[in-house]
Amino acid sequence: MTDMQATGATDARPLVLIDFDGVINQFPDGKVRRRQNSTGWMRPGDPRVGLYSPGNWFVPDHREDIDTRYHGRLRLLWSGELVERLKALDAQVVWLSTWQPYVDALDLRLGVDWPTEHWYDPVTREHRYTGKRRTVLDHLADGRPIVWIDDEETTYDAGLALVGTGPQAPVLAVGPDTHVGISRPQMALIERFVASPPADPVVRFEISRDGRDGSWGFGGDALPLPWNLSGPVGHTGL
């Protein structure tokens, strides 16, 4: 049972389970940052041109360093515009992140009040490598649409596990590129999904990693979907 389920509270809105590092917290190329976030200096065909294009990248405009109990000083770099669009979603947004011990600090700096799932023990690290997927699988029984945003855990194997568990509602999994976090096309897709989830319990993954984009669907007539994204999609933290 997850933390949200244990409270006994009911919320019919879509559930957004969100990571922090590589999703909101960005790790952009140092050369791009030193060149005022421009790409004009790159050679033709460089995959970073698309990644850091204005149509793809929420350019970060906030930076802070915070001191943590278990991990020393950590750097935060994020886009205020992206956070505002996440806050505007008609959904329940819940942290599912290794930043679990520090979400109060994140909420304060981002200006949000999102609860967190306690999916691992930050001292013993129990469930550190299995707890995220387990939490998502547990939420499949809730019967409401789920958006899962994670730059590392949204793998093809995870998709197979979701389908094998028998979701009762549609699932959209988004895997941002760690360097830039959620891209503009990915955010637009999330907004469309939350506003009008598919009627069937299909599972859809939209992934951007290492300069390559991928999308796949699972279950029945999962491909194509009316909310399919057209065109290209788009750490060293905890």
DSSP 29-68: -HHHHHTTT--TTSPTT-THHHHTSTTT-----EEEEEEE
Please state, rounded to an integer, the average pLDDT across all residues of the chain: 88
Q: pLDDT of 105-133, one tens digit each?
A: 999 999 999 999 998 877 666 666 777 99
Beta strands 62-68 and 146-149, pairing class: unpaired
Q: What residue segments make up the domains of the chain, in order of their start?
A: 3-218
Which element (helix H / strand E) includes 208? strand 203-209
Better-predicted residue by pLDDT, 93 or 230: 93
Percentage with pLDDT > 70 across the chain: 84
- Quick check: helix, strand or coil at residue 115? coil
Of the listed ranges 7-11, 185-189, 229-233, the one predicted with least confidence: 229-233
Architecture of domain 3-218: 3-Layer(aba) Sandwich (3.40)
Beta strands 171-175 and 62-68, pairing class: unpaired
The alpha helices in 35-183, defined as continuous H runs, are 48-51, 80-87, 103-110, 131-139, 156-165
Residues 145-173: what's their mean pLDDT? 94
Confidence band for 3, pLDDT divided at 50, 70 and 90: low
* pLDDT(153) > 80: yes
Percentage with pLDDT > 90 across the chain: 72
Better-predicted residue by pLDDT, 219 or 156: 156
Of the listed ranges 97-111, 160-174, 198-212, the one predicted with least confidence: 198-212
